Amino acid sequence: MAGSQGRARFEVRVTPRGGADRVDGVADGVLRLRVAAPPAGGQASAAVCRLLAAELRLGRGSVRVVRGAAGRRKLVEVDGVDPAALRSRWPGLAV
User: What are 3-50's pLDDT values in tens digits?
Assistant: 446 899 999 999 999 999 999 999 999 999 999 999 999 999 999 999
| pTM to 2 decimal places | 0.91
Q: For position 4, what pLDDT does the model report?
A: 47
Question: What structural domains and CATH numbers belong to the chain?
Answer: 7-89 (3.30.1200.10)
Q: Are 90 and 6 in contact (CB under 8 A)?
A: no
Q: In sequence order, what are the beta bridge partners of 76?
A: 10, 65
Average pLDDT of the segment spanning 60-72: 95
Q: For position 3, what pLDDT does the model report?
A: 47
